[in-house]
A and B are shown apart, each in its own frame.
Chain A
């Protein structure tokens, strides 16, 4: 059973072919990582899957339905959301409010009740607040709930973004370098968190540079180089694949060329 299916996805920027004919699929509860050297097209691939870029060709389907180039807000409603490598946080809101914003689609507002602050509306807000705090506890940020989000450290903001994404209630979660800029302890915490999320049935698609983390938690790895998929498989298979080793370390002939 596949929840996310990417078929022949490609995009060109002017004459540059940034991603070409990439296909793979993700099952519920599975952690699939996309790796590759810098500039391999990992983030571009993410941007196409999550509706930020419109692909030139290929298709993306979620639960068997075609979602190619669906805008992000509609993808959120269908159960797919993401985090960004360079963070997309509501800086002027508090940490708690950021997570509460994640519940946007689940709110059933009544304009009159909200304007008059009727008991029913207040109860609803309190319930959402409680759920948001629970997500903050999950990412160990409950203590910073009332702080302005803009004041948090980079690592904390990374976790806040994950908490907000969880509040959306995703079936598929795309994480773009969740451990970038985090120290060893924070990385391990994120590591555990991702494994927990997968266990709860969420399909996770991950872009990450920390190879130790990728090898430890992934069920399946897709390797990109120069926009093309060069290998795919379990961590074991991928780490021994000659093309992958060549892409990361260079081939054996290359030094010879350099000498000559």
Chain B
């Protein structure tokens, strides 16, 4: 039982990160139909920039804000320099562009930063918390709480504000959104900025636990993609549930079967979703009436 709870805690922690990456996928997918495989790089950038800014003497909160702002700016640049000029190209081409961008960002980070693993100090110390027979690091609470706060903030943004509703309208029908005066180009840019910022924040939160290096983005992008597929691509609720479930699957597999199989879980989930329910848990079946 104690071991079980321990697996649950670690599954929820890593699942919260996957959920945030999946949320990044979801936001860009909704605004543009593009699956942005550079999403993992934003998580890496969030971690790396914070580490280097912190080592350079900046206070941790300031370093984190700086990392999030820079990542958001890179997200905007990705849209403006790579996606927007290719507007009108098939979605597959746009997806390949994001894979190229991901390789570019990774390569540049290797040069600008280095190839070492880096860590950040935990935000509220390393004293484990005993809860229901297992232990939990305070940083895990930061990760889970941070993810939860972001989901609530975004839910309010999308359901309450005019700008958020404009994003939803664009996701629903881009041409109709333009007809009522919504600047869909701006909505695209906003979506990239938002996704990148969320990814970077996930990177900041998780670095004290998992460490960061220039190449952690690929794995995170794949896991986040699996989570988004599981929940149903395009559905924020699906991103949350898919991310947490994937994290739990991984932790339980590592605990009860073998940690060697842990990495395989995400791929088995992708295959399973594609075979059994391609629309995911919360995804709507798409039908177009003529």
Contacts and interface: CB of A to CB of B under 8 A. Distances in A.
A134 B27 CA distance: 34
Interface string A69-83: 001110011000110
Interface stretch (B111-119, B161-169, B195-203, B221-229): B161-169
Nearest to A99: B180
A105 interface: yes
The SS class assigned to the B binding surface is helix
Nearest to A157: B289
Contact of B179 (A91, A92, A93, A165): A165
A77 B181 contact: yes
Contacts of B180: 76, 81, 101-105, 164, 167-168
Contacts of B163: 109, 111
A114 B163 CA distance: 11
B178 interface: yes
A107 interface: yes
Interface bracket on A? 20 to 34
Interface string B172-187: 1101111111111100
Contact of B161 (A93, A102, A111): A111
A86 B156 CA distance: 33
A219 to B, nearest CB: 25
B175 A88 contact: yes
Nearest to B153: A115
A221 to B, nearest CB: 25
A84 B179 CA distance: 10
A119 B40 CA distance: 41
A88 B290 CA distance: 11
Nearest to A103: B180
B160 interface: yes
Interface of B: 156-157, 160-163, 165-166, 169, 172-173, 175-185, 284, 289-290
5 contacts: A90-B172, A90-B173, A104-B181, A109-B161, A117-B160
